[in-house]
Amino acid sequence: MATLKKDVITGPIAILADVHGNLAALDAVLAELAKREVERIVVAGDLLFGGDDPLGVWRRLGEKKAQLVRGLSDTALATLDPDKLVAKTDAEKLKRERFLDARKKVGELVLRSLARLPEQLRMPLADGRELMVCHGSPRDPSVDLSFDVSDEELLVLLGGDPADLIAVGGSHVPFDKEIEETRVLGLGSVGEAPEGDAAHFVILSPRLEGTLIERGWVRLGVGSDA
């Protein structure tokens, strides 16, 4: 019997995206994952900006030793100069205030850590395939893959990436697309799901004969479904 390499993923792994500083939604998902005895967690970016408790989210993800990918809002939060943000409309002024508030809440040490996060993670699976996790698209991290992208656009945005399974955040809407020999999983969102009262997650269970992909969601304040 062949011996698997040390870094090959053989146990269940949860992949989340777009927490957006929503600690209550994150905790609801983590509670559901604990029930399912899933301990390894990867989060595909947009971690902190948007919700009321960005520092709480950062600390919770640290407690869980989650592997993190940097999303577009993470890059902006960590690198944009607040003094250069010009707000013209009321909506823009509100967003700038929330941006400044998030930076203040997390502090400089977290911002520096955020800036150092990778834009993608690659992991070998027990069935011999490779998993790649990113926030936007493999070709351009600033461009999201979404449920309504055409096959032609999808191929361009994949950019010939060699991974067999690509998990992405960004669009907030879960989707599952297969093109040529690549399967793309849209992870949905933990903190800003379009449903408003739901938080999405995906669980991968790698096996030698193939990887089981289970999509789930938690209805906030009520329970879970999958």
Q: Domain of 188: which CATH number?
A: 3.60.21.10
Angle at 58 between CA 103 and CA 168, to 5 degrees: 100
Rounded percentage of the chain residues whose pLDDT exceeds 90: 81
* Number of domains the chain is built from: 1
Q: What is the pLDDT of residues 114-168, one digit of tens each?
A: 999 999 999 999 999 999 999 999 999 889 999 999 999 999 999 999 999 999 9
Interatomic CA distance for residues 212 and 46, integer angstroms: 26
Q: Is residue 25 part of a domain?
A: yes
Rg (CA), the chain: 17
Q: What is the pLDDT of residues 42-86, one digit of tens each?
A: 999 999 999 999 999 999 999 999 999 999 999 999 999 888 888
Nearest to 11 by CA among 204, 160, 150: 204
Interatomic CA distance for residues 75 and 201, integer angstroms: 23
Q: Is residue 2 part of a domain?
A: no
Nearest to 133 by CA among 6, 40, 3, 220: 40
* pLDDT at residue 222, as a whole number: 52
Q: Is the pLDDT of residue 3 over 60?
A: no
Mean pLDDT in the chain? 92
What's the one-letter identity of residue 162? Answer: P
